[in-house]
Chain A
Amino acid sequence: MAAIKTLNPKAEVARAAQALAINISGARGIQDVLRTNLGPKGTMKMLVSGAGDIKITKDGNILLHEMQIQHPTASMIAKACTAQDDIIGDGTTSTVLLIGEMLKQADIQIQEGLHPRLIAEGFDLAKVKAQEVLEKVKTSGDLSREQLCQVARTALRTKVHSDLADKLTEVCVDAVLAIKKDGEPLDLHMVEIMEMQHKTDMDTQLVKGLVLDHGGRHPDMPKKSTNAYILTCNVSMEYEKTEVNSGFFYKSASERDKLVSAEREFIENRVKKVIELKKKVCMGNDCSFVVINQKGIDPMSLDMLAKEGIMGLRRAKRRNMERLSLACGGMAMNSFDDMTEDCLGYAGSVYEHVLGETKYTFVEELKNPRSVTILIKGPYKHTLVQTKDAIRDGLRAIKNALDDKSLVPGAGFFEIAAYDALMKYESEVKGRSRYGVRAFADALLVIPKTLASNSGYDSMDSLVKLREEYRNGGGSPVGLDITTGEALNPSDAGIYDNYCVKKHMLDACSVIALIPATST
């Protein structure tokens, strides 16, 4: 009797074949749900909650989360997806499909009497072989801008419609190239993503500078500054509580006022230092001055700044401090003592844009911006979110490509190539575990098959064409043309996938698929 029964008498226990059947049905279940999502012709899902919240997505990971999964195997697969999404940022749908298919293939063999252990062995062998194939088919050498565009476009076309995908491709690649520094790891945080709910999605653009979601909080502050010196700082310009402010430390109201004014003067001196610096650097030229503070600026200080024509922004994002010095130059100041002109950054134009109650401040026309902003526009909240998700994935795809320094031709090419190699390899494998290798090979084909059926073609028909083309082509890349259902060369068509996505997919699938299959 299972030990769990002593702990929880109500626990349901399933054994051997029965347990396997349950496991496999769970995996197949979520595979069926996600099947239609795969590829640029997949079905977009528009989820409307009971309260009217709208979510538009076809991302495998998000959909799995929206479904409240109870099935233990299914929820394990969902967790594997989350892990993949956290690490790589893409490829979750393929992973789910592959896991489901592997279990299905394994099931066929197990029905024939093959022990799950042997299948596990075969899967392991096949995985190693498939990774060898992956190493062989990947491109090498430095990636050109064009190649980065191709991998980004491939990823983006599965998230938004093709016009927008092409637009976002340019935006994402330019953004990454702007912040890329040779010899240093890429920090995607230096690409700020900002949303504005107006106009249409096609107005989404790259701002070679920064967009802040707040503005000057004073009616007389300039709304636009040109040739601006930028002071980024983390110094409070707010009246603060003093240490001795309670009623026990002073006897009369006038004494209290004295304390208050002393404190006030302290803050005023800080503001005066900024004004002094402004006067010094803007003397005799047409330059202006902008203060961007991480801490607060209270109305009285704002008033002082406004009188001098200084634009003052308070409570900037912590990360924007770093971004600002990368974008405009200068450095973030923690104190106003010993400030010199060198501490200041420069921007050709700083201006404010008001949308409802939100003010946006654009810092543009920079000399050499190492931090940029992608400004998303769209008429509805949910379209903004959809675009934002797509941009995230696009950026990740480019980052992955740069990290891997290689790409894999897409459109199902890797799966076809691996299948072919595995079928040859099968005969070399000794013993019954070769059936595991075959199951693995068969399972890989689910990707091109689903791509074809989602595009409206007969999946077996397309598969035959692809395999023939591959064999005749002598190893040159072959993929599925989703517009015609025929074979094409993905390298020529510019369809590329990330190397790490495929690699992670192989790792995850072979491990996850084994757990339900063997733990019975």
Chain B
Amino acid sequence: MDNSIRELVTLQIGHYANFVGTHWWNLQESSFVYDSPSLTDINHDYLFKEGLTLQRQETYTPRLLAIDFRGNLHSLSVSGSLYNPIRPEPSTSEALWDGQIELIKQLPEEKNEFLRDLEKEDAFHQMPTDEDKDICIEDVNPYSSVSNNTVPSSHKIYDLSNSVKVWSDYLKQHLHPNSIYLLDDNHIAAVNATEEGSWGFSCGFAFWQREEVEEDITDRIRMLSESCGSLQGFQILCDIHDGMGGITNGILMHLEDEYGSKDSITFATTPPHLAPQIPQSRVLMQASIVQSYTLLSKTSNVFLPLSLRQSCLDLQAAPVSFPHILAQIDKPYMSSSVLASFLDTVTLPYRVRNETMPLSHVIEMVTLPGCQVVGGSLALPLGLTCNQYLMEWIDSNNYPPSVSLTPDVDIRLDPLSEIQIIRGISPSRLVRPGTKLVSGKQYHTAAELYQSFLEENYIPPRRRVIIGARDLLKTGSPFPSIFKETITEDGLVDSSKRAVTQVNGVPCLAGMHQGKGIGNILHKLQTVAEKLDVSKVPRLVDEGMDRETWADTVEELRKIHGNYSSKTETESSDDEI
């Protein structure tokens, strides 16, 4: 056991959060390097754990608790097939009953091509390695013909954009049987909670307070943390547009209570494709978002809202656009992949092999007391052209080159501090050979180069950390094809290229930002919140919301906003009191 590993537990709460999370775990799995660890900068032991099945098979699964609704898994079994192999024909004799037994079978859920191939691959690996048997199987197994030069499913190109309905449709990982917790929508007062926008924050929080729900969830978190030698904290991915925000609030309060010394970083997602038509649902959704921003940013050390929508409350707002990504990516399967790329990159500081930055340092860098809301940005792909060196690219760009992923936040506005992560640039691509460097400097990594450029040009903010990793963001299947046709296989820009190719990996840049720009989003929320009259929205009243509670929320929001304006003022101009 390596004592220096400081583990993190990941919680995914909500359907869209699980879409993002699934992409993220897929990205991580495709960056596994099995033979020589020197080729990668990422240490996966921070987020994954080793285990053992009852059949004494070793496993490597994410330290993860994913919460979703029953019925949202489709073809995936709750406990997964890793520890309990699914038997196609369950026998009624297994039931502990001596009377009549009625077997009621649902039709098996249809699996898409990707899942079918994964299953084949699994079956192939689970085949006994007995030599004789191998030969017999040779003829029947469609896979064995290519077994010597196996085409792993990540190299095959799939078009899943139409077949993916739920996140389990493209989940590559096997999860631990305790990783998925399903909520029973029968306990929710609203008729059908899976329908969009039909339950809100308060309803979710009330749901969390049900004894069995709280007990089950806290116990699973406890089991995850028990297995960690020195847990450093929790990463929470949650939906904030519906009741899942309330559940997250409950979980965060529990974490604060039980794991007070641990850090937590919350990534709050809102799906860009949801735009409820009924005005009531729209207000309910907006109210949930306001409540989530207010309460979750209080209970979490970092609250980082993520969405591809340009505005957090205007549900009709246009999606943000990236220079090298297709415009039509509103499907959850595609939009979540962009957010996952951000996550995979922005979490690198605390999971790289060398010079790891503890989560608590990350938090300290990007937050101020009372200012837990943080903005995120992403440049995907970086935008380096085929024959460009990083030095030239930096010179040719406006700063910063990335797009804000936090709605309503302009990261350029009076920045206070930031962490940026640049990945996937090999040391040979930094400076064009023969270029004269100032004062005989030498750069070994992209991060070094980028940092010194920013410092030499006095680009604000002054508090800054740049982290680098050599690993590309591996975008093989089942990562959707979201890139424009000008992107090459290695993620570089070739403007003469015309055909869309499968992109295997891209360099990219992601950042976390703190600054005055964040205050704007809070101001916007506050304005909307002040206008809302709770008593005129029956859906909110049904959930137990009343004027006083809402007024408290607004007051709290005002306070947080106040923190931003006062803090940023005193920091930027010292003569003010």
Interface residues of A (CB under 8 A from B): 36, 40-54, 56, 65, 78, 82, 160-162, 164, 197-198, 201, 213-214, 217, 236, 238-241, 245-247, 296, 298-300, 314-315, 317-318, 355-357, 378-383, 386-387
Contact = CB atoms under 8 A, between A and B. Distances in A.
30 contacts: A43-B99, A43-B100, A44-B99, A44-B100, A46-B92, A46-B94, A48-B106, A49-B77, A50-B108, A51-B76, A52-B77, A54-B90, A65-B184, A65-B186, A161-B98, A162-B98, A164-B96, A214-B226, A246-B361, A296-B231, A298-B229, A298-B230, A299-B230, A300-B3, A315-B222, A356-B53, A356-B56, A378-B96, A382-B94, A383-B96
Contact of B75 (A47, A51, A238): A51
B437 interface: no
B79 interface: yes
B99 A45 contact: no
B94 A50 contact: no
B1 interface: yes
B90 A44 contact: no
A213 B360 CA distance: 30
A82 B103 contact: no
Given A44-B97, A357-B51, A50 B103 contact: no
A300 to B, nearest CB: 7
Contact of B361 (A213, A240, A245, A378): A245
Contacts of B135: none
A338 B73 CA distance: 53
Contact of A356 (B3, B54, B107, B109): B54
B104 interface: yes
B361 A296 contact: no
Contacts of B223: 213-214
A161 B79 contact: no
Contacts of B3: 299-300
B84 A381 contact: yes
Nearest to B110: A50
B172 to A, nearest CB: 17
A8 B74 CA distance: 32
A239 B230 contact: yes
Contacts of A160: 96-97
Contacts of A387: 96
B94 to A, nearest CB: 6
Q: Choose among A41, A49, A52, A214 the residue with the greatest number of B CB atoms under 10 Å from its CB.
A: A52
Contacts of B100: 36, 42-44
B577 interface: no
List 8 A-B pairs, minimum CB-CB distance, nearest first: A315-B226, A50-B109, A44-B97, A357-B52, A161-B98, A52-B86, A43-B100, A241-B360
B109 A48 contact: no
Nearest to B89: A48
Interface in B86-136: 86-88, 90, 92, 94-109
A318 B104 contact: no
B97 A161 contact: yes
A36 B100 CA distance: 10
Given A213-B223, A315-B225, A355-B54, A46 B75 contact: no
Given A49-B106, A52-B86, A54-B90, A296 B99 contact: no
A78 to B, nearest CB: 8
Given A357-B51, A387-B96, A45 B226 contact: no
Interface in B198-235: 218-219, 222-223, 225-226, 228-232
B314 interface: no
Contact of B96 (A49, A201, A241, A314): A201
A245 B102 CA distance: 62
Interface string B303-337: 00000000000000000000000000000000000
B530 interface: no
Contacts of B102: 36, 43-46
Given A53-B78, A299-B3, A315-B222, A45 B104 contact: yes
Given A201-B96, A356-B53, A50 B358 contact: no
A40 to B, nearest CB: 8
B261 interface: yes
A198 B55 CA distance: 12
A357 B99 contact: no
A56 B86 CA distance: 16
B533 interface: no
Contacts of B186: 65, 78, 82
Contact of A197 (B54, B75, B218): B54
Nearest to A294: B258
B95 A246 contact: no
B230 A238 contact: yes
Contacts of A247: 361
Given A50-B107, A214-B226, 9 more contacts: A56-B97, A161-B98, A201-B96, A236-B261, A296-B225, A299-B3, A383-B94, A386-B96, A387-B96
B90 A217 contact: no
A314 B86 CA distance: 33
A187 to B, nearest CB: 13
A192 to B, nearest CB: 12
Contact of B229 (A82, A161, A299): A299
Nearest to A198: B54
B364 interface: yes
Contacts of A78: 186
Given A51-B109, A296-B225, A315-B222, A41 B79 contact: no
A318 B51 CA distance: 25
A245 B107 CA distance: 56
A317 B219 contact: yes
Nearest to B222: A315
A159 B230 CA distance: 44
Nearest to B86: A52
B263 interface: yes
B278 to A, nearest CB: 11
Contact of B106 (A50, A238, A239, A356): A50
A52 B78 CA distance: 9
B165 to A, nearest CB: 13
A315 B228 CA distance: 10
Contacts of B184: 65
Contacts of B76: 51
Nearest to A382: B94
A43 B97 CA distance: 9
Nearest to A78: B186
Q: Choose among A49, A65, A164, A246 the residue with the greatest number of B CB atoms under 10 Å from its CB.
A: A49
Contacts of A53: 77-79
